[in-house]
Amino acid sequence: MTTTPATATTATATAVSTGSTTTPHASASGTWTLGGELTVNRVGFGAMRLPQRGEALVENAVPRDRDSAIAVLRKAVELGVNHIDTAAFYFSPTRSANELINSALGGSYPDDLVIATKVGPCRDASGAWGTHARTPAALRGQVEENLRQLGRDHLDVVNLRIVGTDSIAERFGALAELREAGLIRHLGVSNITPEQLAEAQAIAPVVCVQNMYGIGVRPEYEDFVRLCGTQGIAFVPFYAIAAAGRQGGATAPESPEVLAVAEAHGASAAQVRIAWTLHQGPHLLAIPGTGDPAHLAANVEAGGLRLTPEDLTLLNGLHHAPEAG
């Protein structure tokens, strides 16, 4: 089984407060190195929410103001974010996440910026969902589309997004060939099982796993999260804040446990959820997304929130509660 070496460092910042007058910086979250060469701060930015207001990934999404979206991206980089997660299927009727990233940062992309994208899911130009890309030709087409939209000659990380538990060998092998050709620098997998991860690793190095995970969400993934850490693979949870709200955002009432920890630290519930994610291991990377500058700053600030053993005991109890997940 092929593994990819990676390293992590942890910053020594103190607990944060939403009322802090100090400008937050993503370096407070510590760093992780993907594939032995791409070092990122552990609090990154997810671009799914950027093209629209309200629910993402729907045909009738309400487009976000373009100038404000571009400003948020530039502010993220200013705050030390150097890991952006995106996809060509992140778009609203008049906004595309990749186009916004290119407009905000392209032409002079920061040298340390790592852009991770994903392939597999398919939306046509109208926004309607189609059949997942399963052939080498279809996957190459999606890689080429990401390259074109981002204005780059290679992609830093490409995650193969999976639906189902069948073999991924042919699809991952197709991406491995594009990696050998220089179009892709590193490979990851998303929404997968441990068995599918092992299948991918037998073909080419895997630098990250993107699966749904958070407080009360998929507690059965605990062993999988730890497995990734022992193998030097970053675990990048999605919907860590939204939980069951998924692409609609955090819509459910917050739990008393999370609110209690938030109050103790002068933080928000979302910040506590981000901090808990980072406390699950040095290989966990947070990619909270927003189109709001204040939320962006709060998300970055959460990287410096240090939870106490008592906090973690309380939150871990919620995570493993029978009704969770």
Q: Which of these, 234, 235, 236, 274, lies nearest to 258 by C-alpha position?
A: 274
DSSP-derived letter for residue 183 is S
Q: Kind of pairing, strands 155-161 and 8-9?
A: unpaired
Strand partners, 62: 53
Q: Annotated catalytic, 90? A: yes
Q: How far is CA 309 from CA 199, 231, 267, 299, 314, in A?
A: 37, 26, 17, 22, 9
Q: Which of these, 285, 311, 227, lies nearest to 40 by C-alpha position?
A: 285
Q: Is 218 left (phi over 0), alpha (psi -120 to 50) or beta?
A: left
- Helices 269-279 and 309-319: crossing angle, nearest 10°? 90
Neighbours of 33 (CB within 10 A): 18
DSSP symbols for 69-118: HHHHHHHHHHTT--EEE--TT-B-SS-BHHHHHHHHHTTS--TT-EEEEE
Q: Which of 90, 213, 221, 239 is catalytic?
A: 90
Tokens describing residue 164: 């189902």
Tokens describing residue 261: 């920890």
Query: Which residue type sits at 270?
Result: A
Contacts of 280 (CB under 8 A, 6+ apart): 225, 235
* Catalytic residue annotation: 90
